[in-house]
Structure 1
Amino acid sequence: MIRLLSLLVLLAVSRCIGVPPHGASKNTGNAKPQRIVTGADQLPAYLPYLRGKRVGMVVNPTSVIGKKASIDSLQSLGIRIKTVFGPEHGFRGNASNGAVVKDDTDAQTGIPVISLYGSKRKPSKADMDSLDVMVFDLQDVGCRFYTHINTLADVMEACAENNKELIILDRPNPNAYVDGPVLDMRFKSGIGRFPVPVTHGMTIGEFARMINGQHWLPNGLQCKIKVIQVLNYTHNMYYELPVNPSPNLNTQASVMLYPSLCLFEGTIISQGRGTYMPFTVLGAPALKGKYDFNFTPVSIKGMSEAPLHQDRACYGLDLRNYNVKALHAAGRVNLKWMIELYNAYPDKGKFFDYTQSTAMGRIERLIGNDVFTKQLAGGLSEEAIRKTWEPGLSQYKKMRLKYLLYK
């Protein structure tokens, strides 16, 4: 009787916050395609593991159950959230790219917030001693240089060291294709910690399985993980994010263009940081006369406070109306824009001058090798450049298959 009452309460709460009951999206025959249901939206699948425990949560604004912040939803269900851990951009997502984020107390809930993008990158032993279980729920965008997979590894390490289980509420990867050169580990950095391509083609839950399976945690550590899988999802699905993943990925187009345009962080070309259309435009002052379209980066608090080419008109490409669904279907990082703007830039010696940028830095760390600049200078075509990514890319694809949870 008690179990029945508990189930009825869960179903009622699920309806109130806009979440379908577990398995409710099932259909048959000629019905419409089944709706994707994220791990977080499947309350009955993981609430039993949280009840009566001291819970830590790695979350940000993308961590929602239905349309409500997950910590608010879980607190309303009596879950004791002891500590919140915030990644890059902070728990509330209002810190600029790369900005140090300080520890705080969440004004809305009173829960202590510990930054994992400030003085430390992983929860300390004292942090973990106050918890019984950790929950990881962040929307990733599927790129090697997007730092959520680094935060995942750091949290897995802390959980493994302190014998705590990590529950991962999985979410779809909007860029779930595999492309780009595998990182040459000589160029390992904060924007490239693992020997994976530019787009790794995995969800956070799958990537966690790969971290364990490939023994990427230090000292042979293994983290006990439980992945709450996404329902009705396959890797070839086009997925529109319900919440912007970070301040500078503020449209669906920017999310889909990010794997291709973020490579320009290692160049003199602005990707629109300092505008309200980041990662959908490309340009530089020196391209005036070659392109008509232009934009002017300015300082924007919480997005980009000291952007490249600040207060100067940048001329180049407007990709805001680019067919990103076709880009997704092609399953390729677009190198044509890099080749075009390199060829158009009047001073080739300054094209890869990353020192003027406060963002990512060297192109080698982004693309993952030290031959890409020579390939562009040598006039190699896109297809010729792609051939040099083998056999590493094919070997990675084969290795990846062991860890997939979705078709």
Structure 2
Amino acid sequence: MSKRRDNAVGLGIDRVLAGEVSLPGASSIGMLTHSPAVVGGRPDLPSYAALHEAGVPVVRLFSPEHGLAGVAADGQKVADGVDGLTGLPVVSLYGEVLEPTEASLAGLDLMVVDLQDVGSRFYTYAWALWHLLIAAGRAGLPCVLLDRPNPIGGVPGRCEGPLMTPECTTYLGRYGVPVRHGLTLGEMARLWVAEGAVDVGLGVIPMSGWERSMLWSETGLPWVAPSPALRRAASALLYPGLCFFEATNVGVGRGTERSFECVSAAWLDAGAAADAVMATWGVTVQAEAVAEGVVVLTVVDEAAFEPVCFGLWLLCEIRRGHDAFAWATYPTNAHPSGEDHLVRLLGRADALELILNACALIGSERQVFLRESTRLAGWADRVTPVLLYT
């Protein structure tokens, strides 16, 4: 076992390895995880490998979208395999199945979960967890979740909607939570259990030292990309808003170091778009036209930034000013046709109508309209009973 550092947030896994808390006794443990879920301060050491090295009887691994290594492309089908570090079998929950089968859970007496989420409802790791808990509950298999920070903070008043409606249930959201939900995965799972959506024996090993107001830069932890496109902590903060561009023919810099920190298109008037951002959002976001058709975005007031409102506002700004703008499909393993992607992301059947109404407004008027459209009523009261941190 390793000694936890005192100058950083103590992750759930850190507290287990330091002997502060113990996993329930078990002889055959399954683990839903991925390599980006590392031991605190050790970006080279996945938590599952650390547990395996410590003699914890992990016998089977389950992986979410992007695979165990966390490097498969967005939406890419991932096959089952064998882990090169431990030799353990890996069951993909983003391949032929999205939910563990009865056979894949056979022989296990405990399931452990350790995933690094990014705080956005349509980031699919929460829904890999959802399906795992559903299957585990059906099999009578208890689950323990090792908690990690929400990289974009957890202050309830900073959360942003819309709240997903039941008719928009997809793999980008199986349950009614908002786009920027402000929960850790441990708290999310507790919410599902508390509201009766999931019936499973659940335990959460909380972090030490994490506070709801913290963004990633305040945790003292190294950033390990949880998926290929979120290479920096800065991209995670912009992601809840820029992800809406997946439903368009505007790029967000995938494959570059500033992925999800820029917008680009050959036809984009980058200068005009950057000027519009600066005129309305310059207090919290800086925009720079760095090349033809490319605008790089830098959040300068992370605590005040409203990523969902901003992303929708920018989408409208670009749509209004460019005849070449178009909606696009976004095929994935979970949704091969890729149709209605905006509806799936926003979680509202009237997503296009909302955008059209916003596009009829300009500057700060559009900002006010979208701020109201993404405002959440009752979310803080709803989640307060399941919160683990202050």
Q: Shorter-chain TM-score: which interval? A: 0.7 to 0.9
Distance (Å, rounded) in 2 between the aligned partners of 1:398 and 1:314: 46
Please tell me the residue identity of whatever aligns with 2:296.
Answer: D
> Which shifted more, 397-406 or 272-281?
272-281
Structure 1 segment 4-403 matched on structure 2, within 5 A: 13-15=1-3, 19-20=4-5, 25=6, 35-43=8-16, 44-50=19-25, 52-66=26-40, 67=42, 68-176=45-153, 177-217=158-198, 222-240=199-217, 242-288=223-269, 315-319=293-297, 322-323=298-299, 326-330=301-305, 332-333=307-308, 334=310, 335-347=312-324, 350-351=325-326, 353-355=327-329, 357-358=330-331, 362-369=341-348, 370=350, 371-379=353-361, 381-389=366-374, 393-403=376-386
**How far is the alpha carbon of 1:336 from its aligned partner?**
3.6
**Contact persistence 1:206–1:404 (CA under 8 A):** yes
List runs of 5+ in structure 2 lacking aligned partners. 275-290, 333-337
**Contact persistence 1:342–1:376 (CA under 8 A):** no
**How far is the alpha carbon of 1:185 from its aligned partner?**
2.4
TM-score, L = length of structure 2: 0.82
TM-score, L = length of structure 1: 0.79
1:304-339 alpha-carbon deviations (Å, 9 max, x no partner): xxxxxxxxx9713112xx135x13444553244223
**Contact persistence 1:270–1:314 (CA under 8 A):** no
Please tell me the residue identity of whatever aligns with 1:249.
Answer: L
**How far is the alpha carbon of 1:160 from its aligned partner?**
0.7
**How far is the alpha carbon of 1:54 from its aligned partner?**
0.5
**How far is the alpha carbon of 1:116 from its aligned partner?**
0.4
**Contact persistence 1:53–1:80 (CA under 8 A):** yes
**Contact persistence 1:256–1:328 (CA under 8 A):** no
Distance (Å, rounded) in 1 between the aligned partners of 2:181 and 2:23: 32
**Contact persistence 1:180–1:197 (CA under 8 A):** yes
Helix, strand or coil for the counterpart of 2:99? coil
1:334-380 alpha-carbon deviations (Å, 9 max, x no partner): 24422322232234xx43x113x546652122122213222233226
Please tell me the residue identity of whatever aligns with 2:197.
Answer: W
**Contact persistence 1:290–1:344 (CA under 8 A):** no
Judging changes above 3 Å, is the alpha-carbon distance between structure 1 residues 364 and 314 closer, same or farther for their aligned structure 2 residues? Answer: farther
Please tell me the residue identity of whatever aligns with 2:389.
Answer: Y
Distance (Å, rounded) in 1 between the aligned partners of 2:344 and 2:292: 25
Please tell me the residue identity of whatever aligns with 1:316.
Answer: V
**Contact persistence 2:66–2:73 (CA under 8 A):** yes
**Contact persistence 1:135–1:169 (CA under 8 A):** yes
Please tell me the residue identity of whatever aligns with 2:28.
Answer: R
The aligned counterpart of 2:285 is: none
Please tell me the residue identity of whatever aligns with 2:371.
Answer: R
1:147-171 alpha-carbon deviations (Å, 9 max, x no partner): 0110111111111111111110000
**Contact persistence 2:64–2:93 (CA under 8 A):** yes
Helix, strand or coil for the counterpart of 1:223? coil
Distance (Å, rounded) in 1 between the aligned partners of 2:307 and 2:270: 30
Distance (Å, rounded) in 2 between the aligned partners of 1:120 and 1:81: 22
Distance (Å, rounded) in 2 between the aligned partners of 1:399 and 1:282: 35
**How far is the alpha carbon of 1:288 from its aligned partner?**
4.8
Distance (Å, rounded) in 2 between the aligned partners of 1:37 and 1:53: 26
**How far is the alpha carbon of 1:130 from its aligned partner?**
1.5
**How far is the alpha carbon of 1:127 from its aligned partner?**
1.9
Distance (Å, rounded) in 1 between the aligned partners of 2:307 and 2:251: 22
Helix, strand or coil for the counterpart of 1:235? coil
List runs of 5+ in structure 1 lacking aligned partners. 1-12, 26-33, 294-312
Distance (Å, rounded) in 1 between the aligned partners of 2:250 and 2:237: 19
Distance (Å, rounded) in 2 between the aligned partners of 1:211 and 1:401: 13
**Contact persistence 1:173–1:201 (CA under 8 A):** yes
For this pair of structures, how many residues does the alignment match? 347
The aligned counterpart of 2:389 is: 406
Distance (Å, rounded) in 2 between the aligned partners of 1:79 and 1:388: 48
> Which shifted more, 161-170 or 367-376?
367-376
The alignment's C-alpha RMSD in Å is 2.3
Largest Rg, 1 or 2 = 1
Judging changes above 3 Å, is the alpha-carbon distance between structure 1 residues 314 and 258 closer, same or farther for their aligned structure 2 residues? Answer: farther
